Amino acid sequence: MADLILELFSEEIPARMQAKAESDLGTALEKALGEAGLNWSKLETASGPRRLTVFMDGLTERSADVKEERKGPKVGAPDKAVEGFLRGAGL
């Protein structure tokens, strides 16, 4: 398990906007890391006039391996079919 500190420096953030910016950053980071398959035990956020900070405790160091199996075009299929399959698979 690892700890992560992410601190963003910026121009002056008005006081009335700090809490929302802090919350939005925490939510966005939770969503992104969750979609990447990472887990954590504790997340805290903090903000100041010129910075937004996220503290994460117990962050997993790597996500679980993912195995994906797809059926492609037949051997000898036209090149367009193969290219479409590769594009769809992100290759």
Q: Which amino acid is at 59?
A: L
pLDDT reported for residue 69 = 84
Q: CA 1, CA 63: separation in Å to the nearest integer?
A: 12
Q: CA 11, CA 52: separation in Å to the nearest integer?
A: 11
Give the strand order in the sheet containing 2-9: 2-9, 51-59, 42-48
pLDDT, tens digit (0-9, with 9 covering 90-100), for 30-65? 999 988 888 899 999 999 999 999 999 988 888 778
Q: Pick the more confident residue, 83 or 64.
A: 83
Residue 26 backbone class (left: φ over 0; alpha: ψ -120 to 50; beta: rest): alpha
